[in-house]
Amino acid sequence: MIRLSVMVLFCAMLAACWQRDVGRSYYPSGKVRSEATVKNNVVDGPAVMYYESGKKMSEATYRAGVLDGRSVAYYESGAPKAQAEYRDGVLDGTSISWSESGTVLSTARFDRGRLVAPAATSGGAGSDSARKP
């Protein structure tokens, strides 16, 4: 539900100021907060959010306004924070979260929104293959 609210807010911000097929929103400082491909006033394609420092906060792909594909969130340091796969707006595939140092905090697997492999947590360092989004 929170993701849907964030998406609606994100779409509303993008509808207010756009250039060509790319919608952008800005921090009060004038720095870019988000940019996304917009078609018919709906996010459709890649979308990126930034920290005010200019570093990437998250990136995701939308189709007709709903998440569809990989979504990745980053710590301000640039280290990956979380990664999830979506299909038609619902979790579908493996979701992973990391600590800022790269330790895998949890993994879970979803099939069309249903949890099929409960979240597993790790106290040790994550593997390099699981660390890269």
Distance, in Å, from the CA atom of 26 to the CA atom of 73, rounded to the nearest integer, reads 19
Q: How many domains does the chain have?
A: 1
Q: Is 123 exposed, middle or buried (0-12, 13-18, 19+ CB in 10 A)?
A: exposed
Q: Which pLDDT score, from 0 to 100, does residue 13 have? A: 52
Q: Which pLDDT score, from 0 to 100, does residue 117 have? A: 85
Residue 116 structural domain: 2-131
**DSSP for 48-88, written as a single string:** EEE-TTS-EEEEEEEETTEEEEEEEEE-TTS-EEEEEEEET
The CA distances from residue 20 to 24, 29, 105, 118, 131, in Å, are 10, 23, 40, 43, 35
Strand-pair category, 18-19 with 104-111: unpaired
Distance, in Å, from the CA atom of 78 to the CA atom of 100, rounded to the nearest integer, reads 9
Query: Which long-range contacts link 63-66 to residues 24+ away (Cβ below 8 Å)?
Result: 63/88, 65/7, 65/11, 66/7
Output the pTM of the full model: 0.74
CATH number assigned to the domain comprising residue 28: 2.20.110
Q: Which pLDDT score, from 0 to 100, does residue 93 have? A: 96
Return per-residue pLDDT of the chain as tens, 133 residues: 445 444 444 555 555 444 449 999 999 999 999 999 999 889 999 999 999 999 999 999 999 999 999 999 999 999 999 999 999 999 999 999 999 999 999 999 999 999 998 877 765 444 444 545 6
Q: Which pLDDT score, from 0 to 100, does residue 4 have? A: 41
Q: Which pLDDT score, from 0 to 100, does residue 15 have? A: 52
